[in-house]
Amino acid sequence: MDRDQLERNQIPFYFVAVVLAAALGLLAPGAADPLETLVTPAIAVLMYAMFLQIPFLDLRAGLGNRRFMGALLLANFVLVPLLVWVGTRGLVEHPAVLVGALLVLLTPCIDYVVVFTHIGKGDSRLTLAATPVLLLVQLALLPLYLALMLEGAGSVEISLVPFVEAFVLLIVLPLLLAVASSAGARRSTLVAKWNDAWAWLPVPAMALVLVVVIASQIGVVASRLDDLLPVLPVYVGFALLAPLLGLLAARLLKLSTGEARAVTFSAATRNSLVVLPLALALPESIRALAAAAVITQTLVELVSELIYIRAVPALIRR
């Protein structure tokens, strides 16, 4: 199997990983704690592999598309937060679930959204080029959104220290290493070969992350299903409405077909794998349930993406 075949078949590959992870987590609950310790390093490896695919040294063309960037920012940081705020008001009496839902729904995806955009015939190259901007803006705005939307949700104390640690380990270090590798590839054939080898790894790394994340948390999801039931309608409603908000932003900025599809996928796809370590860094009283809420969104979203890759091209025609 060559790299193109691996990338074309990655969706069924991911679903096999999810099924195996769920079976492992439910049939061997003793593996949950060891696997949880692998979550952060596995995500760090994935982020480095993903960042290496971003053309950091050639971003000007993608970032220079002001209408696309405007629609992307409008959808993800204005329209979607409004939807999340309205949709989560019913969770105020469930603070742990509310925190998990807010963490995942307020952060646009920066990894496998590129894959789904490509399969859904959107402009995945623009999505890839916009990844650093999405990442930086969500990190800047997430504390503000959490402060506003958690008001009245009881005494939920969130320490900034674990967030900073997770940001450094999962984002800053992989990003700096990827930029250095990209720059070095232009001067060294050895570094270029290193980068070429890593180009094979985003799909296996994503599958590994899905395995360690779901296998380590699915037991909590199963055992706390009654507590998680209130968030399920929120996630289903988000899956139905968020793509329409992306399409609205694209129409307002008069984007082309490929650009509009890319914004639609971005608005609907969330950053669950990256924010999970943030949920695991919450106070012990709410940590397990908040992390379970994040994983629940991942499971709903993976099913939704199978619908999006058919529905979005049909909805947004040339």
CA distance 162 to 165: 5
Reported as a single tens digit per residue, the pLDDT across 130-158 is 887 888 898 889 888 988 898 755 555 66
In a domain, 1, yes or no: no
3-class SS string, 184-249? HHCCCHHHHHHHHHHCCCHHHHHHHHHHHHHHHHHHHHHHCHHHHHHHHHHHHHHHHHHHHHHHHH
CA distance 290 to 163: 15
pLDDT of residue 61: 58
Looking at the structure of the chain, the number of domains it has is 1
Reported as a single tens digit per residue, the pLDDT across 3-58 is 777 777 777 888 888 899 999 999 998 888 898 888 889 888 888 887 887 766 55
* Residue 196: CATH number of its domain: 1.20.1530.20
Reported as a single tens digit per residue, the pLDDT across 86-97 is 999 999 889 899
In a domain, 129, yes or no: yes
In a domain, 123, yes or no: yes
pLDDT of residue 129: 81
Please name which of 240, 225, 236 lies closest in space to residue 308, comparing C-alpha atoms.
240
Terminal C-alpha separation, the chain: 33
pLDDT band at 235; cut points 50, 70, 90: very high
In a domain, 24, yes or no: no
Q: For residue 283, give both structure tokens.
A: 């106070």
In a domain, 93, yes or no: yes
Helix (H/G/I), strand (E/B), else coil: 3: helix
Query: At 275, which helix (H) or strand (E)?
Result: helix 272-280
CA distance 221 to 18: 14
Q: Decide if pLDDT at 305 tops 80.
A: yes
- Pair 100, 277: CB distance under 8 Å: no
Reported as a single tens digit per residue, the pLDDT across 153-174 is 555 566 666 667 777 887 788 8
CA distance 305 to 318: 21
In a domain, 3, yes or no: no
In a domain, 263, yes or no: yes
In a domain, 6, yes or no: no
Burial class (CB in 10 A: 0-12, 13-18, 19+), 193: exposed
pTM score, whole prediction: 0.82
* Domain carrying residue 119: 11-19+32-315
Q: For residue 83, give both structure tokens.
A: 């939807």
What's the length of the chain? 318
3-class SS string, 30-80? HHHHHHHCCHHHHHHHHHHHHHHCCCHHHCHHHHCCHHHHHHHHHHHHHHH
